[in-house]
Structure 1
Amino acid sequence: MSSDQPAAMDIRQLKAFVAIVDLGSLTRAAAHLHVAQPALSQRMTRLEAELKTALLLRSPQGVRPTEAGKALYRHARTVLRQLEEAAAEVRGGAGAGVTGTVAVGLPTTVAAMLAAPLLRLVRARHPGLRLQIFESMSGYLAELLANGRLDLVMLYRDVETPNVAVEPLLQEDLFVMGPLPAAAGDDAAATCPVAALAGVPLVLPSGSQGLRLLVERAFAQAGVEAPTVVADIDSLPLLLGAALDGLACTVLPFSALAALPPGATLAHRRLVAPEVARPVSLCRLASAARTPAVEAVHDLLLALARARVDAGAWRGVRLAGTA
């Protein structure tokens, strides 16, 4: 084969590469694929040689893709998904319905409202479809989307970028939760002015999370010094636990209360003056293939979220574009 001919990648190489990126480790990927690690490493070395570029960055902490590796990962997932859907359609015939794999990312508080109902709907309406649900903080999910590891993801943004298509869905109010000060507001109105939180110990997500920026902006608008953050915590159970233990207050959407331990209650009031809310949108890579499987899950997610709001099951939110 002449040196200017395209690399002859095979399906085994693509599957191995995707597994390595997904698992972040050659050792874990080898175990998952039931191959010896040296053989897997040699397979990746040959792939990099064929493509004449480095695809993986190796370190004691594991492996991660280079920029070229991220591009290959996105294309490899598309190719493998199309092959999987083709095989399922051939095996099942015309009556197989929607088939394939769809990876969905849900922030932890959104997952409390949508994850289990979505799984039930997919199983009932599209039994040939395999759903992958990633639950995490929004900052990490945005990174997974950018790397092509998610087909659909709920994110707290309402502005499109050249790479990400955004479909505004909800506006989600934020609440202060925990040992509220006496000046926190009116019990009957269940609200708390932001200014009442001046000097109150708070535990909040780190600065890489959008919620933290919203809180800091609200304090500035209220003419209050920066929030008194005693710990940066990127974990919903730990944020709620600190508030339950009376260590500090936190700021979260109402849906976060669904993650409380059974029988536990937590004082909470909606933030006002100014009101603090964030958009929730359904996002996908603008360049991603809109397969029947992805579109089926997309439609179910939209309908499910709207139904939960209309039924009053998802408190503290309103549909985008409504007052």
Structure 2
Amino acid sequence: MDTKRLSYFIKIIDKGSLTRAADALNIAQPALSQHLIGLEAHFKQQLVIRSRHGVTPTEAGNALYRHAQIILKQMDFMSADVCAAAKIISGSVSVGLAPYSTTSTLSLSLLKEVKRKYPEITLHINDNFGSIFSELVMNGRMDLALIYDPGMMRGVNFQQVAVEELFLISRRSLLNAKDGATEISFKSIENIPLLLPSKIHLLRALVDNAFEKVQVTPNIVAEIESMETLGMAISEGMGSTILPWSAASRMSDFKQLILLPLKEPKIEASISICVSDSIPLSEPAMAVHDILFKLVRELIASNQWPGVRPPQ
């Protein structure tokens, strides 16, 4: 068995089909099938269940998939460490930055600082919706992520770096708040149409829990996974949203919006750097980690974003 077979197996599981995997790898399907048969013979285990719809990993296959990810990642680390022996930190580093978060505003600063200090590092930044960054870190597909902290989770460790308060963001015409109001309660927004992230986001869970605490059913009119679309919908008066201050600041008519801290209950979300608990950071990834941590501290100290504070 060699690392090529492991990489082939990962591709088979990722694609869910020998045919699609063979096309992606640009090799003949019979040859790829022989590599799979060789792996099953080596481990004396059935690794996938074949059907006319494709392949599905068995429990043994899932175990091999996880370890293969780690092994291949370690091979990348080895290459990076050999380069580091020449005192040049180089290699690829992938970083996730939570959408809708103040941390997503750090992407350009992170890119500039990494290029300034470590020009040989190739940085991959992901701040897209639809990706569960903790799972990507756990599986070794992403080196680290700056995300909302969900609490204890197997396979990853969290280093808390900031706490972010949520605000009601709206046009005044949709609010029941009086002129000059400095905060608003959850009960008073019961009938306001809301535009929120979908339920895969921790922010949405925090908002839903707050409504449950006051026994209020929110008037959710849409779930939106796009900052641009959300901003336009808010601008058109189609609804309000509950997000950090930084999210509102990226909307085109920010100066025309009302932002009110929420009370009864107040909502705060912890932001943490997420890393794998089984795959050590490579030297380039550790360098990027340190830069990211420094940038978060500088952002908090600058008081640029209301509602963002250091963890206690």
TM over 0.5: yes
Contact map agreement 1:157 1:279 (CA 8 A) in 2 = yes
User: What letter corresponds to residue 213 of structure 1 in structure 2?
Assistant: A
Is 1:276 matched up with 2:283? no
1:110-136 per-residue CA deviation (whole Å, 9 max, x = no partner) reads 453122221222222223333333324
- What is the DSSP-based 3-state SS (H/G/I as helix, E as strand, rest coil) of the residue aligned with 2:127? strand
Is 1:248 matched up with 2:248? no
Q: Quick one: distance in 2 between partners of 1:254 and 1:183?
A: 20
CA RMSD of aligned residues (A): 3.3
Count matched residues. Answer: 309
1:26-79 per-residue CA deviation (whole Å, 9 max, x = no partner) reads 66655554434554455345434433232588786x877655444434433333
Q: Quick one: distance in 2 between partners of 1:184 and 1:132?
A: 43
Q: Quick one: distance in 2 between partners of 1:24 and 1:115?
A: 33
TM-score normalized by the length of structure 2: 0.81
Structure 1 residues 244 and 120, CA gap change in structure 2 (3 angstroms): same
Quote the residue 1:260 is aligned against: 251
Structure 2 residue runs without a partner (length 5+): none
Quote the residue 1:16 is aligned against: 8
Contact map agreement 1:240 1:250 (CA 8 A) in 2 = no
Quote the residue 1:308 is aligned against: 299
Q: Quick one: distance in 2 between partners of 1:126 and 1:64?
A: 41
Structure 2 counterpart of 1:296, from 266, 276, 287:
287
- What is the DSSP-based 3-state SS (H/G/I as helix, E as strand, rest coil) of the residue aligned with 2:176? helix
Structure 2 counterpart of 1:143, from 135, 153, 163:
135
Quote the residue 1:4 is aligned against: none
Deviation at 1:231, TM superposition (A): 2.1
TM-score normalized by the length of structure 1: 0.79
Deviation at 1:315, TM superposition (A): 3.6
Structure 1 residue runs without a partner (length 5+): 1-7
> Structure with the greater relative contact order (CA < 8 A, sep ≥ 6): 1 or 2?
2
1:207-234 per-residue CA deviation (whole Å, 9 max, x = no partner) reads 332222211222244x352111122334
More off after superposition, 106-115 vs 165-174? 106-115
Quote the residue 1:3 is aligned against: none
Q: How does 1:1-323 map to 2 (within 5 A)?
A: 8=1, 10-19=2-11, 30=22, 33-36=25-28, 39-51=31-43, 52-55=45-48, 67-90=59-82, 92=83, 94-110=85-101, 112-137=104-129, 140-157=132-149, 159-180=151-172, 181-187=174-180, 189=182, 191-221=183-213, 223-261=214-252, 266-321=257-312
Q: Quick one: distance in 1 between partners of 2:139 and 2:77?
A: 22
